[in-house]
Structures are given as structure tokens and as C-alpha cells.
Amino acid sequence: MIALLSRDLALAVRAGGGFGLGLAFFLIVTVLVPFGVGPDTELLSRIAPGILWVGALLACLLSLDRIFALDWEDGSLDLLATAPLPLEALVSLKALAHWITTGLPLVLAAPVLGVLMSLPPEGYLWIVASLAVGTPALSVIGTFGAALTVGIKRGGLLLSLLVLPLYVPTLIFGAEVARRGAEGLATATPLALLGGVTCGTIALLPFASAAVLRINLR
């Protein structure tokens, strides 16, 4: 399992994988928004939590089709499926690798980009906390989407369409945590709900993803 994880990580980092891409996209979104809406600090600090969350979500979306596509094309996915490792574990590992290469950098970069968005000082802790709790759910849901569309050529658009509505609860709760945190309000309720979404998806969705992958590999 660890070998598989480190293989995925190595592939993502070395082979021009999605490692830098998601981060660069996140950076671009947050740098471009102030040009779009104007440099008004008050406005920027009000929309900062939402923009950071949407940027993180889109950056996540960008790298989803890489989760299975390369393994599918060169046939290693078939080998992995016949390996003694259950497919559910494989799917979870893939999601974990995706999170480490995409979600974790986003979490770490968010405070830096918060400066650009003139995020209020109270907000930094909460944007990091909400992204840290929420991005695993994005990776797990995205893995399900990637497993659904793995057999489809140029399935990128379809993947986004399928995953987009699935991302709504995570985005709502995550952005709500960040917004309330930035405004100095109590964050316990949305944070608990966000945690619930994340735990629920991590616990249940790998079974659906594995089932879907089995169908696709048939």
C-alpha cells in the first residue's frame, strides 16, 4: 500500500503531473480576482473566503482526470485491480495521493494568498482549518467522478459536470466556516457539518468508486 502511494506521489511530482498545476491555477485565480473586481480592500476582504474556496475547488477539479487516466491508458490499472489489494483500498489510496499532491499544497498556500486578498487577520486560522477539513472530501468525491469517467475519451468536461453538483455541500459548509471565521463569528456548526461531510464521503464513497471502477474494467 505504501509502495503504491509513494509510486503515485513520485509520478505526480516528477512526470509533469498535476502537482504544480493545481497550485498555479489557485494562484492565478486569486491574483486575477482583484484585477477583476478592483483593489478596494474592504470588498476584497469580504469576498476573500469565498474566492479562496472557489479557487481551491476549481484547482482540485483541474487535476481530477489524472487520477486514473494514465494508469488506465498503460494498463497498470488492470494489474492493480487483479492485485491482492482490494479495489476499495486502491481507490482510497488514489484519493489520498490526489489530496497530498493537490489538496495539501492548497491548504498551505491559502494563507499566503489570503494576504493578496486582504483577508482579515481572524480569517487565516479558519481558512486553513476549513480547507484542511474540506479538501479531503473534494479529493474523495473527485476520485468517484474520475472512476465514473475513466473509460471515456476526452471525459474532462463530463467529469466536471458530474462532480460539480456533488461539490456543492462541501463548498457551502467550507466557505461558511471561512466566512464566519473572518467575521469573528462562531464557526462550530458549519465546521462540524463540514467534518461530517468529509467523514461520510471518506467512509462511504470509496465503495461506490470501487464498484464503478469494477464496472469500467469489466
Partner 1 sequence: MEQRASASLWEWANPVKFLRLTEWLLPWVSWGAAICLAVGLVWGFFFTPDDFRQGSTVKIIYLHVPAALMAINIWIMMLAASLVWVIRRHHVSALAAKAAAPVGVVMTLIALVTGALWGQPMWGTWWAWDPRLTSFLILFLFYLGYVALWEAIENPDTAADLTAVLCLVGSVFALLSRYAVLFWNQGLHQGASLSLDAEENVHDVFYLPLLVCIAGFVLLFVALLLLRTRTEIRARRIKALMARERMG
- Give the interface with partner 1 as residue ranges (CB under 8 A): 144, 148-149, 151-152, 155, 158, 161-162, 164-166, 168-169, 172-173, 176, 190, 193, 197, 205, 208, 211-212, 215-216, 218
| CA–CA separation, 64 and 12 (whole Å) | 12
Task: Report the SS3 class of residue 10.
Answer: helix
| CA–CA separation, 191 and 100 (whole Å) | 21
Residue 64 or 205: the one with the smaller Cβ distance to partner 1 is 205
CB of 80 to partner 1, least distance (A): 19
Q: Which one, of 134, 67, 61, 132, lies nearest residue 94 by Cα?
A: 67
CB of 65 within 8 A of CB of 159? Answer: yes
Q: Which one, of 145, 130, 165, 167, lies nearest residue 69 by Cα?
A: 145
Residue 14 or 218: the one with the smaller Cβ distance to partner 1 is 218
CB of 206 within 8 A of CB of 140? Answer: yes
Residue 23 or 197: the one with the smaller Cβ distance to partner 1 is 197
DSSP H or E stretch at residue 15: none
- Which amino acid makes up residue 17? G
| CA–CA separation, 117 and 111 (whole Å) | 10
CB of 148 to partner 1, least distance (A): 6
CB of 46 to partner 1, least distance (A): 16
CB of 27 to partner 1, least distance (A): 27
CB of 52 within 8 A of CB of 178? Answer: yes
Residue 7 or 214: the one with the smaller Cβ distance to partner 1 is 214
| CA–CA separation, 184 and 209 (whole Å) | 38
Residue 48 or 159: the one with the smaller Cβ distance to partner 1 is 159
CB of 212 to partner 1, least distance (A): 5
Residue 24 or 78: the one with the smaller Cβ distance to partner 1 is 78
Q: Which one, of 97, 92, 95, lies nearest residue 207 by Cα?
A: 92
CB of 194 to partner 1, least distance (A): 10
